[in-house]
Structure 1
Amino acid sequence: AYDRIDQHENICSLQDVVVRQDNVYVFLPGHHGDMHAYVRSRKHLDEEEAGRLFAQMLGAVTHCHQHGVILRDLKLRRFVFTDKYRTRLALLGLNDSVLLHGNLDDDSLMDRHGCPAYVGPELLTNGNRCYSGRAADIWSLGVSLYTMLIGRYPFQDTQPAALFAKIRRGVFSLPNWLSPQAKCLIGCMLRKEPAERLKAIELLMHPWLTNPHVQRHNSHKTHHNQNAIQNKQEDTDQVVPTWTEKH
């Protein structure tokens, strides 16, 4: 993946790779924590800060998609802080990303992979139908922005089967204090039908990210603490179990 995407300001550079027998060691630059820990420490981010950071996250994903790299396991933990104002995508797992070959427009994937709270509904449907890798990444970005702004996941449950049922329904709520443009951007990503989600490069042009004068609400309200649920769902880094397709 690193060979494909080359250098980008919003992607952690590769420092070194060491191959030892059956193990491969990848060395990345040091960082100051990840986005998941940062959002937890702040409860949630105001729209100005979230917009600045999400633009960097989206820039990294756009670059990957343009170079035929599908990330699959996108989540807040994948973005680390190199300083107070900049976050970068860390390609931590060599098995996480998929490199497209031949026609880079064809991003059809078969295997189900990702953190349960972040997977799109198309990964949980019946059968072994192909799905768009880029569209699945966009859904995960929508979950990420929702969590940054609101402080909880859009779909939550302590039981995996119930969680996946909520994701398949694709119905989520947005608080009244969130600005209309922020709601719009989240809605452009968390669309149940993958073909209806905006592409990464299209999302970069959204007014919430491009217009500094757009109405942004900087709410500092305290919300119900969902950390126990978030920890359980975020820390379960696993391939989506095949049994979920039968429910």
Structure 2
Amino acid sequence: MNDNKNIQRQEEQAKEVINEIKKEYTKTADFLEDNTDTQLKIAGELKEELKNNDFDVNIEELKALKDEITGLKAEIKRLNEIDNISLSSLIAKDIRAVGKSLINLQEKAVGSIKNLYDSMKHQLTYNLTKAQEKFVEMKIGIVKGLVNSMQSFIKEQQKKLNNCLEKLDTLSKEIQKDEEKLNKGNKEEISQPDNENKDIKSSEKTAVRNGGERQGTNIQKSNEKKPKSMERKPSVLKTLKENQQKIRQEENVKGEKTVKKDKGMEI
């Protein structure tokens, strides 16, 4: 019972950590979306102000990134709507997969900022008007702010996520050990009654065999102890018949002797 309670407690702790991770994922996705929207806005404004197509590549790159972020936010929303999540469930694996996707999108966001900055810096090599040059420099300042903001956010967010993941790994190992211990205990409890049943059946067989042997011995002894008077006697009817036959035989023998004697006297 204590092992079960311990596992349940650990599962609850795991759920709390997972919920914390999901919150951080939501924050990260929202941050990346806002950052990408800002970059798109800057690229669009520069294209319109400078009247060239140098920023078309940046705009296409940022639109593709925005689509990926939108798709990932939908996946995070799906995870947030699921209540029963355990470390052994497939949902936990999905959470780790989302984390990897977020890291990938962060790298893409950093790459898109660098590409946008390079495009802006390249504009300063053109013969721009003072107003255009000032406009580009102003936008470069905004991009620098985006870089610093993203740098600080990712560091803080990664620190929190690493802490959460360490907690998850520790809990996962503890739960696995406790489950193995609990399963081992259950197997021992199951095997013990089986052995007891085998012993009982073996004892029953021995008792039956011994009982049969004792019964046979008792019958034999009982037969040996029977008095001779208990032996079977011939029937009375049979004895009478035998006596009658003996009497007839004796009478016949006497009759024959008398006849012979009479004949001798006649001679």
Higher relative contact order (CA 8 A, sep 6+): 2
**Does the alignment reach a TM-score above 0.5?**
no
Larger Rg: 2
TM range, smaller chain: under 0.3
Which one has a larger percent strand, Structure 1 or Structure 2?
1
Higher helix residue share: 2
Instruction: Output the TM-score relative to the length of structure 1.
Output: 0.24
Q: TM-score, normalised by structure 2?
A: 0.22
